[in-house]
Amino acid sequence: MRTAFLVAPEGVEQIELTSPWQSLAATGATPRLVSTASGTVQAFNHLDKGDTFPVDLTVDGAAAEDFDLLVLPGGVANPDALRTDPKAVAFARAFFEAGKPVAAICHAPWTLIEADVVRGRSLTSWPSLRTDIRNAGGDWTDRQVVVCDNGPNTLITSRKPDDLDAFNRAVLREVGVRT
């Protein structure tokens, strides 16, 4: 299972990157950190700087067809930066066009809104995105995890770090791992 984790160079919520990464890696999956710039990614623990992580590929050198799954970690600054980068938005959209599963947590649906892929889909997020998702044609609900198969691919969304256990279980089920 080749998994792309798409993040901006700064601002990803560390636990929303590391928890799904470790969960997938424990199954033998091959997670790869994809960013809009090479070098390292500065993660955050809410507003405090966390660890840095090496970038494996930039969106310039990555293609959806090289991966089986896309994970979009949140944090406020991370998806806000991604949604203003046309190549990052196109990379995310390509997973929908290819019918591949996408998992997004917290503020990450902002990138999906920009990619125009939430219309007609059920999803959840950090509560402040509710109006954005509804304005983009999505059906927002306040649940720990939402798995939406209404579309070309499966979309798994979750609200916040407290929901990571449920989010990780849903992602693992989607890729065929019993939980």
- Bin 37: left if φ > 0, else alpha if -120 < ψ < 50, else beta: beta
Q: Could you say which of 33, 103, 106, 170 is catalytic?
A: 106
| Catalytic-residue membership of 107 | yes
What stretch of H or E contains 110?
Answer: helix 109-114
Position 79: which residue type? P
How far is the C-alpha of 147 from the C-alpha of 124, rounded, in Å? 9
The residue to which tokens 């310039």 are assigned: 60
62-78: buried (b, 16+ CB within 10 Å) or exposed (e) per residue? bebeebbbbbbbbbbbb
| Catalytic-residue membership of 46 | no
The whole-angstrom distance between residue 125's C-alpha and the CA centroid of its chain comes to 11
Q: Could you say which of 107, 121, 159, 160 is catalytic?
A: 107
List residues with catalytic annotation: 106-107
